Structure 1
Amino acid sequence: MRKRKTRGRRSITYQNKDVVSKIFGENLMNKLLAVYGVNLPKIKAVMPTNLPAIEANELRIDNLFRLEDDSLALIDYESRYKAENKIKYLNYVVRTVKKEHLYRNTDQVLRVIIIYTGDVTREETKAELDVGCLQFNVEEIFLSELDAIAIEQNLTKKINAGEELSDEEQMEFIILPLVYRTKEEKQTCIWRCFELGKKIPCQELQVFLLSGLLVFTDKVIKREESEKIRRWIMMTKVGRLFEEEKIAYGEKLVAEALEQQKRKEKQSLMEIAKKMMKRGMSTAEIQGCITNLTYEEIERLKA
């Protein structure tokens, strides 16, 4: 019997991702999406991203938002451009129209926004699909046009100084790894963001930023890193303090053990030095043999 191959692309199982997405979504209300370079009203509600259909398969989009003007914004993230992806986006649109019964309300606006990571430039893509009976347009956002280094320097400076982040800076934190071009740069930036996020004193903001970081970088983050960040998010404040105290206590025990070992070694060297003195050896001669003892220590031992 052949074993079914598991697909290892996703770093977080959908059950875990749903939990993290829920944490992220609950804190996303009233945020602006201006950091993307698109002028949209504030987010009013985060909507379910699974789009069931009569067919056997189920589509899952990256984000679906209801905005303050009651329009819908369907946002997807891509690390490369494929013309055939527009068929995927059309499927998203059709199923969203069916699920939300938009065909009953001709005034309802649905916007499709594709955010390209730092891998893609404006010259590589085409926003329109025109097949005669159908004209389909997506709004394209290019993170490659943002200055990743300047954003990271500003965030690092403000967080280290304990300054409050604006709504736009919070969204910059979440998408920062995707602004970098190569996979390696993205992955190292994810870890830097995680270490930086842990310094934020407000637990609610910390959880929002780190859960957003997980959700947005799901396609590029390493499995082991995603699990570490997820465990940090899931830990209660008490649990986290206990974990930190446990680590500190362990480090203290190791330090005490090393100190005790040093004292034992020093005592052993002292005994050897005493025997050398009984044989009439000078302080200089003893120090030449036992370099771990200073001249002053040997003189005090003689006294």
Structure 2
Amino acid sequence: MAHGISYHAKDILFKSLSELYRNQALDVYGLHDLPKIKALLPNEFPAVRADEKRSDTLFLLEDDSILLLEYESNERFIDNHLKYLDYAYRILYTYYKQEKQLRHIRIVVIYTSDVTRKYEQFYAGDVFLSSKAVLLSEYNGDAIFATIEEKICNNEPLTAEETMKLILVPLMHSRFDRQMMIEKTIELAKNIHNEQTQLHVIAGILTATDKFIDEQYAQKIKEWMKMNKVMRLLVEEFEQEKEKEVHEKTLEIAKNLLDVLPIHEIAKRTGLTISEVADLAKKMEK
């Protein structure tokens, strides 16, 4: 998402979506044989040029494998799988450098209603890549929307599966065009009584439809999300975490300066109080 709620909007939405997906089964995609989601992972990896794209969504599964979840609306199967091969290489390389072992990678491609056939295997001599395809053209988005709409209108809580389905409704088969379904689904989500679920669903829709949503409308929704109480709490929590992180780094810098500078000079350079630096010096003496 190019323009955020704030300069750290991506991190805040990531935090919200992490709560949504944690411990969720992938049954809603028809992937009954995959382990549950353990955590949502950041999709920032080294060796990415400015003109290169990143994986849509990465999950750590309960068996410690990594699920690469992609959303596509075209049948450029070879081009897309070459792209996934690049993602897989960067993921494998990064984790191997950190852990000295290879992580198992699973690839699932969620095809919007524009695509009606599957392509799950890519051969290039000794290079082979397989994926699992989910065709949303096989899902009746209008019927699913109507069922969930009735529950929301009756103030009934949504199940985890219904929450996940609502996020995907704009990409399913419908008599309405995609942008209209995105708007209809987000407007429906605004009526969810539980504010946390409301935020999760809207954040999920913005993520799943990122390649297809009208940018001006997306920005409008992000601005609206500022008013969500849960979002405000997330922003506050995020700020506190960042402040703590900065403070810890500052303490580390001060610790390294104790042998070369007097306490008052360290306080001046780091912004810490003389008392904080003095306490740090005492701890180092023990």
Tell me, yes or no, whether TM beats 0.5.
yes
Q: What is the CA-CA distance between 1:225 and the residue it aligns to?
A: 1.7
Whether the 8 Å CA contact 1:62–1:76 is kept in 2: the answer is: yes
SS of aligned partner of 2:146 = helix
Distance 1:192 1:56 in 2: 34
Task: Look up the match of 1:234.
Answer: 226
Mapped to 1, the partners of 2:25 and 2:219 lie a distance apart of 28
CA offset at residue 22 of structure 1?
3.4
Give CA deviations for 1:112-153 in whole Å, capped at 9, x if unaligned.
Answer: 11111111012xx42211122112111111111111121111
1:56 to partner: Cα distance: 6.9
Aligned pair in 2 of structure 1 residues 90, 201: CA closer, same or farther (>3 Å)? Answer: same
Counterpart amino acid of 1:121?
Answer: T
Matches for 1:110-189 after TM superposition, within 5 Å: 110-122=105-117, 125-180=118-173, 185-189=177-181
Aligned residue for 2:242?
A: none
Say yes or no: does 1:219 pair with 2:211: yes
Instruction: Please state how far the C-alpha of 1:27 moved relative to its aligned partner.
Output: 2.8
- The equivalent residue for 1:207 is 199
Secondary structure at 1:180 match in 2:
coil
Matched with 1:77 is 71
Instruction: Measure, in 2, the Cα distance between the counterparts of 1:228 and 1:94.
Output: 36
| Distance (whole Å) between structure 2 residues aligned to residue 239 and residue 86 of structure 1 | 36
Q: Which consecutive residues of structure 1, in runs of 5 or more, have no partner in the other structure?
A: 1-9, 241-303
Q: TM-score w.r.t. structure 1 length?
A: 0.68
1:15 Cα offset (Å): 5.5
Greater Cα shift, 170-179 or 185-194: 185-194
Structure 2 residues without counterparts, runs of 5 or longer: 233-286
In 2, the alpha carbon distance for the partners of 1:200 and 1:231 equals: 18
Distance across 1 between alignment mates of 2:93 and 2:8: 25
Change (3 A) 1:55 1:219: closer
Partner deviation per Cα, 1:179-228 (whole Å, 9 max, x = no partner): 1368x621111111122111111111111111111111111111222122
Q: CA shift at 1:18, angstroms?
A: 4.5
Deviations 1:10-59 (CA, angstroms, capped at 9, x unpaired): 66459644543332233321122211121222211111112212767654
The two structures, once aligned, show a CA RMSD in angstroms of: 2.6
Give the match for residue 109 of structure 1: 104
User: Cα distance 1:168–1:229, how it changes in 2: closer, same or farther (>3 A)?
Assistant: same
* Residues 1:86 and 2:81 are matched in the alignment: yes
SS at match of 1:200: coil
- Distance in 2, matches of 1:208 and 1:57, equals 30
Q: Deviations over 1:249-285 (max 9, x none)?
A: xxxxxxxxxxxxxxxxxxxxxxxxxxxxxxxxxxxxx
Cα separation, partners in 2 of 1:100 and 1:142, compared to 1, 3 Å:
same
Contact 2:38–2:60 (CA under 8 A) maintained in structure 1 = yes
Does the 8 A contact of 1:12 with 1:218 survive in 2? no
TM (normalized to structure 2)?
0.72
Cα distance change on mapping 1:178 and 1:15 into 2, 3 Å: farther
Contact 2:22 2:39 in 1 (8 A): yes
For residue 39 of structure 2, give the secondary structure of its aligned residue in structure 1: strand
CA distance in 1, matches of 2:88, 2:94: 10
Q: How far apart are the structure 1 equivalents of 2:2 and 2:153?
A: 29
- Contact residue 152 and residue 193 of structure 2 kept, 8 A: no
Structure showing greater radius of gyration is: 1
Q: Deviation of residue 162 (structure 1)?
A: 0.8
Q: Is the 8 A contact 1:180 1:186 kept in 2?
A: no
Q: Is the 8 A contact 1:52 1:58 kept in 2?
A: no
2-structure distance, mates of 1:220, 1:126: 21
